[in-house]
Structure 1
Amino acid sequence: MLTPRQPVLALLALCLALLAPFPAQAADRTPHWSAAGAPGPAAPRVPVVLVHGYNADPGVWGALREDLKAAGYADSELFSWGYDTHRSVNEVLAGQLGAYAEQVRRQTGAARVDIVAHSFGSLVARWYVSFGGGAATVNHLVSLAGPNHGTSTAWACALWDQACRDMTPGSYVVRSLAGGDETPGAVKYATFWSNCDEVINPDASVPLAGAVNTPVGCLKHNDLLGDDATSAGVRAFLAS
């Protein structure tokens, strides 16, 4: 049970986290190639759909997109989905993500897509895979600092915001995703979590049974988006 001070503290923590600037893109994250050592045309890769978190937009993926391009991805293989982060995970957003993934598959001719999601976007992506047909069309699913088992900070905005209600511990969305197999299908799952995350409480909410669960050390919630080691881990997992 929350003490009288806890809702206020939770609200302050959530507001500060969401108002914090997202990590700036490094000045030069692309390797330099000499003319003699320039790589040839890259083989087509599984397209990647990037799903941002609550109160964010596709612009948060600048650093990871550059890292993925440096690793050989073409712009035509990278897609950043933008959506209204105040809508319901199960009733609205998962279906919209599914439609977007199908559009990516048609556009690229790929049989499957990879999904990398941050924070609230993890619940949307997981619902699409678990209950929206995504298990047949998603190859890898990465959750960066996802409130996979709920986060107590979401109580600060749950009274007026459906997405916040979906992120609370014990919500219909959280309970449904945790029931039975947390990582269904042939999809490969990975999570990356921080023990200093000021938004996800408890930190242990992020890891999933059956996933590759990687601690990233002491990083703030949004710092996972621009962290070099986390980016390297994501790229290695997508290549697995």
Structure 2
Amino acid sequence: MFALSLSHRFRVAAIAVVTTAAALCAVAPPAAAAPAREPILFVHGWRGSAANWDYMWGRFQNEGYTTDQLARFTYDSTQSNKDIAVQVKAQADALRARTGVNYGTWWSPCDEIIDPDESTVLNGATNIRTACLGHLPLLSSAQVFEGVRDFVR
């Protein structure tokens, strides 16, 4: 699973208001903007789809994330790992270019699908080893959710 940090995570611009000096005295200062959140790119595994992340997606929305702050895509897992890596990199690069974010991965030493387990580790990313979780339990793990949530704060 990849999470893109948006210090970068989707930021929004400010609004400028031009008015007369008299009006400035009568206008209350604008409320402080909510802190920007880092965007998250969810990447499914072998034979999966973007829908694999529905549960985790919903958890982040319940935490206040908007669909503009969450991203996922589906790729054809019958392709070579090299071809898939090119697509994941393109998605991550596009998100990073748009947001300026860093990224992280979460991987399990007990993943029965990914072999070798460490192949999820990416150069330039924050790579986090989870507890001994199977491949599918990564999708709904409280540890993974909390780790990603804390990473993107």
Secondary structure of the corresponding residue to residue 69 of structure 1: helix
The alignment-based identity, stated in percent, is: 23
Partner of 2:140: 226
Q: Output the CA distance in 2 between the equivalents of 1:69 and 1:146.
A: 28
Say whether the 8 Å CA contact 1:42–1:72 is kept in structure 2: no
Give the stretch that moved more between structures: 72-81 or 222-231: 222-231
Q: CA RMSD in A?
A: 3.0
Unpaired segments ≥5 residues, structure 1: 1-39, 113-138, 155-166, 198-220
Does the 8 Å CA contact 1:142/1:190 hold for their aligned counterparts? yes
1:144 Cα deviation (Å)? Answer: 3.9
1:50 matched to which residue of 2?
42
Q: Cα gap change, 1:98/1:184 in structure 2, threshold over 3 Å: closer, same or farther? A: closer
Q: What is residue 63 of structure 1 aligned with on the other side?
A: 55
1:77 aligns to 2:15 (yes or no): no
Which structure is higher in RCO with an 8 Å CA cutoff and minimum separation 6? 2
After superposition, the Cα gap between the structure-2 partners of 1:237 and 1:44, relative to the gap in structure 1 and judged at 3 Å, is: closer
Within 2, Cα distance between the matches of 1:95 and 1:225?
23
Could you tell me how far 1:143 is from its partner in structure 2?
A: 2.0
Code of the aligned partner of 1:143: W
2:88 maps to 1:97? yes
Q: Which amino acid aligns with 1:142?
A: T
2:100 corresponding residue in structure 1: 111
Check conservation: 1:143, 1:191, Cα contact below 8 A: yes
With over 3 angstroms needed to count, the CA separation of the structure-2 counterparts of 1:229 and 1:93, relative to structure 1, is: closer
Asked if residue 143 in structure 1 is aligned to residue 106 in structure 2, the reply is yes
Question: Does residue 80 of structure 2 align to residue 88 of structure 1?
Answer: yes
TM-score of the superposed pair, with normalisation by structure 1: 0.42
1:237 maps to: 151
- Deviation per residue, 1:18-72 (Å, 9 max, x gap): xxxxxxxxxxxxxxxxxxxxxx863332221100011111111112112222333
What is the deviation of 1:101? 2.5
Instruction: Summarize the Cα distance change of 1:183–1:104 in structure 2 as closer, same or farther, 3 Å threshold.
Output: closer
**How far apart, CA to CA, are the structure 1 residues paired with 2:85 and 2:136?**
22
CA distance in 2, matches of 1:230, 1:168: 20
Offset, 1:73: 2.0
Alignment partner of 1:190 is 2:128: yes
Alpha-carbon distance, 1:145 to partner: 3.4
Unpaired stretches in structure 2, ≥5 consecutive residues: 1-31
SS class of match (1:231): helix
